[in-house]
Structure 1
């Protein structure tokens, strides 16, 4: 699932900074809490640095961050590579005209939205979020971006839960993951 990257001390530091909470939000789930990474200045910086190194020369026009943790990691990457940042949000959070994409969850449906005109046809887009599990939210974000005629270059994530195979829902879009885990 991940692109080629070295298993260097930065990735090890990022991995060590992510807290695992058993049985959250329900029994049997091992929740990967990236908020603890934000408490570790070096691990947070390392994650941004690795993304910037990967994307600085790829002519990315837009970094699209998925609510909510994509809003934490996306803007510093966008600033560093000279791209604009576009938030992709839950319904009724953005003022003005929006386009939306509904997607299926194991217990129902959800929806994401972005402002009309925020991303233009032909722009090259990097999608950033904290984690890929089943891939539903990321799949919806890709559809939303492609509906306006933009190109999704890659999806950048801190954490990938490999055994949930979410990357298989992404229509072959490249996925770059810093830290991968087996087991939900």
Structure 2
């Protein structure tokens, strides 16, 4: 129950527009939870997962504020895709004129390539939409439903779901800082 109360405190800090305090509190809750998992289940945790816990704890201890997100990365990958699409299109046009190929054959090649690029843009847009605060709210509610369900989880699985929930809260706060607005799920 103390875990839920601490999460409610994080939500309350977000509601009062204290994102930095909420993020630091979520980090502290995550560190405490990792320590609790390691202390309780040290014998049953495999080495890879144990190292992952230690690495996450180490990075969280270093963070003193909300990390900055590089927003130019998405634009750069979009420009690269557009330029490569133009290059492929001009390559096919060059082949047509060089070898005097039938237009029907070229359309048979160009249409799948164009559809492939369109689907890439759609998937990228969906990924970016998930990273916005609304996407994280859906992820948080899904994880909270998993925790509150009567499904018979092993205790370590339940603790790992709590850890995922804490990470979702942290990423929710980061996305609110990145996109510059607050969304509460009251």
TM range (shorter): under 0.3
Q: TM-score by structure 2 length? A: 0.27
Larger radius of gyration: 2
Higher strand share: 1
- Flag the structure with more relative contact order, 1 or 2, with Cα contacts below 8 A and sequence separation at least 6: 2
